[in-house]
Amino acid sequence: MEKLIGKKLSTAVFISGKGSNLKSLIKYSKLKNSKIKIKLVVSNYKSAKGLNIAKKNKIRTKIINFNKDNLVENKLLLVLKRNKIDLVCLAGFMKILSRDFIKKFNKPILNIHPSLLPKYKGLNTHKKVLKNQDKFSGATVHLVNSRLDSGKIILQKKVRVYKKDTELSLANKVLKIEHELFPAALDKFL
């Protein structure tokens, strides 16, 4: 990844839900020194609330139904090519991209995951943290490769877990630091 001097990378953000990470990435992208400009928001779910955030910010959106046809990844690659996308950020995106897609896109794909990887890959991270009575949890931004939540770690941020925490209170605590973490990870990576 060549170092960027002044140029903002054309970025696509993939979502599936609320889009609170998308919102923080949009805010970051508007900063003078940010290294990204968000050109496209892709969702696998047509009712994802994050799509409204994209529209409010006049960002092009694309719904890709991953369940419908197996050519969906080729369609997605075409959309990314047409929009000259140089970087993909997965922000609450709940679909797994194939090895073939990652190879063909051949540019960086970053994901944010709500645990201190390599601990707790996959789903239900907060439940596992509480069950194991971990003192810390947090979030991780990592490069996406063909193995789930296993790419090179770019940046992590910790939160303290207390006995009184519930899955909900922990999820909210982690989500809050995610919103600082993703922009900080982009600054570090780019």
Binding site for ligand GRF (CB under 6 A): 15, 17-21, 50, 91-92, 112-114, 175, 178
Give the nearer residue to ligand GRF in terms of CB position, either 114 or 151.
114
Q: Which residue has the tokens 């979030």?
A: 139
Q: How many residues does the chain have?
A: 190
Q: What is the smallest separation between the CB atom of 63 and ligand GRF, expressed in angstroms?
A: 15
Residue 109, C-beta contacts closer than 8 angstroms, at least 6 positions apart: 87, 88, 89, 90, 97, 102, 143, 144
Q: What is the smallest separation between the CB atom of 175 and ligand GRF, expressed in angstroms?
A: 5
Q: What is the smallest separation between the CB atom of 182 and ligand GRF, expressed in angstroms?
A: 9
Q: What residue is closest to ligand GRF based on CB?
A: 92
Minimal CA–CA distance to 25: which of 114, 92, 89, 111? 89
Give the nearer residue to ligand GRF in terms of CB position, either 20 or 104.
20
Q: Give catalytic residues, as residue numbers.
A: 113
Give the nearer residue to ligand GRF in terms of CB position, either 17 or 169.
17
How many angstroms separate the Cα of 132 from the Cα of each of 67, 115, 116, 162, 174?
34, 13, 14, 12, 17
